[in-house]
Amino acid sequence: MTLLRFAAAYVDEQWITPCYVRLNPEGHLLAISEAAPEGMPVEEHSGYLIPGLSNGHSHSFQYVMAGMAEHLKLGREADDFWSWREAMYRVANSIDPDQLLEVSTQFYMALLEEGYTGVCEFHYLHHDKAGQPYADLTRMGGVLMEAARRAGIELTLTPVYYHQSSPGVPLRREQRRFYFADTDAYLLLLEQTSSLARDHYPEVQIGYGVHSLRAAPLGDIKTVLGTHWTLGPAHLHASEQAEDARIFEVSYRSRAIDWLYDNISLDTHHHLVHATHINDVEVKKLVATQATVVLCSTTEANLGDGIFPLPEFHMQGGSWAIGSDSQVNLSPFIEMRMPELVHRLLLEKRNILCKGQELDSGKLLFDRVLKGGRSSLGRSTRSFVIGQPFQGIVLDAEHDRLLARPLSQVLSILVFTGDRSLIAEVWSRGKKRVQQGRHRERALYRPGFERSMLQLMQELSGI
């Protein structure tokens, strides 16, 4: 048995001080309370314990190219998402399974260092570089599970269906690694991925979904999203780009969220990534379904996607999570404050999400992101669940930002000023993974990552 003592802990949306955490030898939580069990040696931690955070939308292979699509090519001054996507396709079509293992291992360790203890990997690199299925259909998915195990992060692997480039338009050559001929082929991969996880990676949750509303015929979307194929969550990109929303409406004579509302029994099981370009009616319908929107605000800003109407969505009771998406930012604290700050600029007001008895913006944002994030991973929305592996972030109470500040202000300081420098330790899947800002296994896997990056950069020169 292990008994940990923290100066304070944020448990069930309130601070307790001090806090004692009792773990079994496997790192599962046995008890968490203010009371100290008698007769047990105590491991002292002077910091503040908060729950680990969930990354609701991630493409790990894009860690390779983050920040590398910020230059214009002559004649391409009208730069937007669609030109960025060309650079992304080059990476997607260059990386092999061995390189993906090394890149994803390093990336998942970086997420832990930033305070994410769980991640939903939105997975569409299914086939080989020629677009042919591997002999083992789960080859790429298995690589991601192994990378997560190496890093010690909680993984929800979500393989998604991709069939067409846009409504009525066949898949492009650059999208060959994503392609499924039909839903039967996709569901076979999903079944084998679930079997692999069950037999060899039982700690991994398996989700499912459609890449986007543009990437599949409506009948296929109904097939995939209309049934709970796994115990995990359902995910899809929705209304990310203004052009997405326009093409969908022109092609099907319906707004995207209107169509989903009328044709899919959306509920807490479903997670819509971005949902940027939605009108007031769609906001109301989406809130009514209790589906979660996964906001990736730094990616949405970087790609020029647009701005999700968070104040309207929140005031009506909407649920949201955050994700790192294209990996231009890995800090959950920056990600959770970004939507609020953008609307402060737009509205020329402050603390815009506060309502009723919720008068602390930092606490409000933290609590919403914490709950929505756990939902996006298909896990219990409660933190510090007895019997589950211990997950938590230990904040450095002696940091300049936190020293002598009252506990009631810690979450706002964290959300609006925080970065990884405030983190002393990160515990995930029952073990201390990060200490003094560094993942404890970084040195072990660094050589493989360096080798893979050198290979990829040679192939991608001039991206």
Where in the sequence numbering do the catalytic residues fall? Answer: 274, 325
3-class DSSP assignment, residue 264: coil
The answer to whether the CB of 59 falls within 8 A of the CB of 330 is no
Residue 423 CB contacts under 8 Å (≥ 6 apart), including other chains: 113, 114, 115, 393, 394, 395, 396, 434, 437
Q: If you ran DSSP here, which 8-state letter would residue 388 be given?
A: S
In sequence order, the β-bridge partners of residue 235 are 209, 271
The answer to whether the CB of 100 falls within 8 A of the CB of 144 is yes
Q: If you ran DSSP here, which 8-state letter would residue 63 be given?
A: G
The answer to whether the CB of 73 falls within 8 A of the CB of 47 is no
Whether the CA torsion 324, 327, 332, 335 is positive or negative: it is negative
Query: Is residue 441 packed enough to be buried (19+ CB in 10 Å), middle (13-18) or exposed (0-12)?
Result: middle
The answer to whether the CB of 168 falls within 8 A of the CB of 217 is no
Reference 160, options 174, 135, 140; nearest CA is 140
